[in-house]
Structure 1
Amino acid sequence: MTISEKDSTPHAPFGDRLPAILNIYGRVMAGVMMLLGLREWGIIVGIFDGAVGSFETMPAAWKIATMHLAVVDLVASVGLWQRVAWGNVVWVYAALAEIAMHTVFIGTFGGDLPIVLFHFVTLGVYLALFMIERRRETR
């Protein structure tokens, strides 16, 4: 087969590549959630300072939120990496919890627009891919 013949072969339609795209997206998000969880653990053990200082001097609400995110982000990361259904559920929960922290409870945790936008965009992309896949399966 020559190069010109390879170029003329039809490419797989988007629908055939969608499971692979979702798999890659899940793995990338697993890596991101791993980094976010490790950042929280770094705050707990004193490697980094949190938004309101070191872990020891944080108010109780911040300590609870930091510990919560340290565990939930890493659990979501493992579930996303394994591509199991509960991984998606824990990831959506972790993202919504952090969005709520910085929007609904802005008086306690302050507003962190970059992290809120990040979670909105990643959840939106996932929802769009998920809906496209479901439509394809029903056809």
Structure 2
Amino acid sequence: MHEETLRQSLRPTMAETGLLWFIRLLAIYSIGCGLYYWVRLIGVYPGLLWRFDLMPWQWQTAFVGLAILFPVAATGLWLRAAWGPVIWFFAASIEIGIYSYWSRMFEYRPEIIAVNVACILLYIILRGILFWQRRQQNNFRFTD
């Protein structure tokens, strides 16, 4: 009987599985964002300011930073390293700031703001559910 209980406790919960899939999708999204910023930097982009040397210094600074942060975050997220979500949150916060608060210097992109805010909220909700489940499981274990 004890062996069956142990086997069930080792089985991942729905929240753990959901968080794993969400983090993997977030890693794929982050690598896509990183590629977008690299494409902008190397000049394979149709439109104004299509090359690094034509961009204002604000864009150069922000785009270089995001072109580095997003692929690093994607790597950390995919590997499930503790620093992956931290770097992703930092990069997403910069992107939210660029396209909302500093939109006069850059551009206003509400879709990017909405996606980043939704991802941050979903991550917090999934982590909260996981924390609550583990706490309930630990409380149950101590009362037996």
Instruction: Report the TM-score when normalising by structure 1.
Output: 0.84
What is the match of residue 20 of structure 1? 17
Whole-angstrom distance in 1 between the partners of 2:44 and 2:34: 13
Cα offset, 1:55, TM superposition:
2.1
Question: 5 Å matches for 1:1-139?
Answer: 16-49=13-46, 52-139=49-136
Question: 2: CA distance between counterparts of 1:32 and 1:88?
Answer: 13
Range with bigger deviation, 113-122 or 42-51: 42-51
**Structure 1, unaligned runs of 5 or more:** 1-14
CA deviations on 1:56-109 (whole Å, 9 max, x unpaired) are 211000011110100000110000000111001001111111101112212211
Q: Distance in 2 between matches of 1:50 and 1:115?
A: 19
Q: For residue 61 of structure 1, what is the amino acid of its counterpart?
A: Q
Aligned length: 125
Q: Secondary structure at the match of 1:109?
A: coil
The verdict on how the C-alpha distance between 1:111 and 1:25 changes in structure 2, with shifts beyond 3 A counting, is same
Q: Distance in 2 between matches of 1:124 and 1:24?
A: 16
Task: Say whether the 8 Å CA contact 1:49–1:55 is kept in structure 2.
Answer: no
Aligned equivalents of 2:116 and 2:69: distance in 1? 15
Shift of the 52–114 alpha-carbon distance from structure 1 to 2, 3 Å rule, reads farther
Amino acid in the other structure paired with 2:41: I
50 and 40 in structure 1: CA distance in 2 versus 1, 3 angstrom threshold: farther
The alignment's C-alpha RMSD in Å is 1.5
Q: Is the 8 A contact 1:43 1:50 kept in 2?
A: no
Aligned amino acid, residue 114 of structure 2? L
Unaligned runs of 5+ in 2: 1-11, 137-144
- 102-111 or 62-71: bigger deviation: 102-111
| Identity fraction in percent | 28
With 51-60 and 97-106 compared, the bigger mean Cα shift is at 51-60
Normalising by structure 2, we get a TM-score of 0.81
